Structure 1
Amino acid sequence: MAQILAPSAQWQMRMTKSSTDASPLTSKMWSSVVLKQNKRHALKSSAKFRVFALQSDNGTVNRVEQLLNLDVTPYTDKIIAEYIWIGGTGIDMRSKSRTISKPVKDASELPKWNYDGSSTGQAPGEDSEVILYPQAIFKDPFRGGNNILVICDAYTPAGEPIPTNKRHKAAQIFSDPKVAAQVPWFGIEQEYTLLQPNVNWPLGWPVGGYPGPQGPYYCGAGAEKSFGRDISDAHYKACLYAGINISGTNGEVMPGQWEFQVGPSVGIEGGDHIWCARYLLERITEQAGVVLSLDPKPIEGDWNGAGCHTNYSTLSMREEGGFEVIKKAILNLSLRHKEHISAYGEGNERRLTGKHETASIDQFSWGVANRGCSIRVGRDTEKEGKGYLEDRRPASNMDPYVVTGLLAETTILWEPTLEAEALAAQKISLKV
Structure 2
Amino acid sequence: MATSVSSKLNKALKQQYMSLPQGDRVQVMYIWIDGSGEGVRCKTRTLDSEPKTVDELPEWNFDGSSTNQSEGSNSDMFLIPVAMFRDPFRKDPNKLVLCEVLKYDRSPAETNRRHTCKRVMSMVQNSHPWFGMEQEYTLLGVDGHPYGWPSKGFPGPQGPYYCGVGADKAYGRDVVEAHYRACLYAGVRICGTNAEVMPAQWEFQIGPCEGINMGDHLWIARFILHRVCEDFGVIVSFDPKPISGNWNGAGCHTNFSTKEMREDGGVKVIEDAIERLGKRHKYHIRAYDPKGGLDNARRLTGHHETSSIDLFSAGVANRGASIRIPRTVVQDDKGYFEDRRPSANCDPYIVTEALVRTCLLKEEGDEPTDYSR
> TM-score category by the smaller chain?
over 0.9
Q: How does 1:13-412 map to 2 (within 5 A)?
A: 41=1, 43=2, 46=5, 49-50=8-9, 53=10, 62-72=12-22, 76-176=23-123, 179-198=124-143, 200-345=144-289, 346=291, 347-412=295-360
1:112-152 CA-to-partner distances (Å, cap 9, x unmatched) read 11100000000011111110110000000000121000000
TM-score by length of 2: 0.94
Q: Structure 1 residues 136-145 or 105-114, which shifts more?
A: 105-114
- Offset of residue 192 of structure 1: 0.2
- Offset of residue 44 of structure 1: 7.5
1:94-126 CA-to-partner distances (Å, cap 9, x unmatched) read 000011121112111111111000000000111
Q: Distance in 1 between matches of 2:261 and 2:188?
A: 25
User: Can you give the 5+ residue segments of structure 2 that lack an aligned partner in the other structure?
Assistant: 366-373
Match for 2:212: what amino acid?
Answer: I
Q: Distance in 1 between matches of 2:350 and 2:302?
A: 24
Q: Distance in 2 between matches of 1:44 and 1:315?
A: 47
Q: Distance in 2 between matches of 1:45 and 1:274?
A: 25
Instruction: Report the structure number with the largest CA radius of gyration.
Output: 1
Match for 1:125: what amino acid?
Answer: G
Kept in 1, the 8 Å contact 2:7–2:231? The answer is no
Identity, % of aligned positions: 53
Runs of 4+ in 1 over 4 A off after TM superposition: none
Q: Distance in 2 between matches of 1:287 and 1:71?
A: 22
Over 3 Å counting, the alpha-carbon distance change for 1:360 and 1:45 in structure 2 is closer
Q: Distance in 2 between matches of 1:273 and 1:287?
A: 21
Structure 2 counterpart of 1:3: none
Match for 1:370: what amino acid?
Answer: N
- Offset of residue 87 of structure 1: 0.5
Kept in 1, the 8 Å contact 2:7–2:232? The answer is no
SS at match of 1:159: coil
Match for 2:168: what amino acid?
Answer: E
User: Can you give the 5+ residue segments of structure 1 that lack an aligned partner in the other structure?
Assistant: 1-40, 55-61, 418-432
SS at match of 2:360: helix
Over 3 Å counting, the alpha-carbon distance change for 1:188 and 1:71 in structure 2 is farther
Q: Distance in 2 between matches of 1:268 and 1:45?
A: 35
1:383-408 CA-to-partner distances (Å, cap 9, x unmatched) read 11110000000000000000011111
Q: Distance in 2 between matches of 1:44 and 1:276?
A: 24
Structure 2 counterpart of 1:426: none
Match for 2:19: what amino acid?
Answer: N
Kept in 2, the 8 Å contact 1:133–1:152? The answer is yes
Match for 1:224: what amino acid?
Answer: D
1:403-422 CA-to-partner distances (Å, cap 9, x unmatched) read 011111110012459xxxxx
Kept in 2, the 8 Å contact 1:313–1:388? The answer is yes
SS at match of 2:307: coil
Is 1:414 aligned to 2:359, yes or no? Answer: no
1:345-401 CA-to-partner distances (Å, cap 9, x unmatched) read 141100000000000000000000000000000001111111000000000000000
Match for 1:173: what amino acid?
Answer: V
Match for 1:196: what amino acid?
Answer: G
Kept in 2, the 8 Å contact 1:69–1:143? The answer is no
* Aligned alpha-carbon RMSD (Å): 1.4
Q: Distance in 2 between matches of 1:232 and 1:312?
A: 25
Kept in 1, the 8 Å contact 2:3–2:233? The answer is no
1:321-340 CA-to-partner distances (Å, cap 9, x unmatched) read 11010011001111111011
SS at match of 2:185: helix
- Offset of residue 204 of structure 1: 1.1
Q: Distance in 2 between matches of 1:110 and 1:49?
A: 35
TM-score by length of 1: 0.82
Q: Distance in 2 between matches of 1:415 and 1:342?
A: 15
Kept in 2, the 8 Å contact 1:71–1:145? The answer is no
Match for 1:66: what amino acid?
Answer: Q
Aligned length: 361
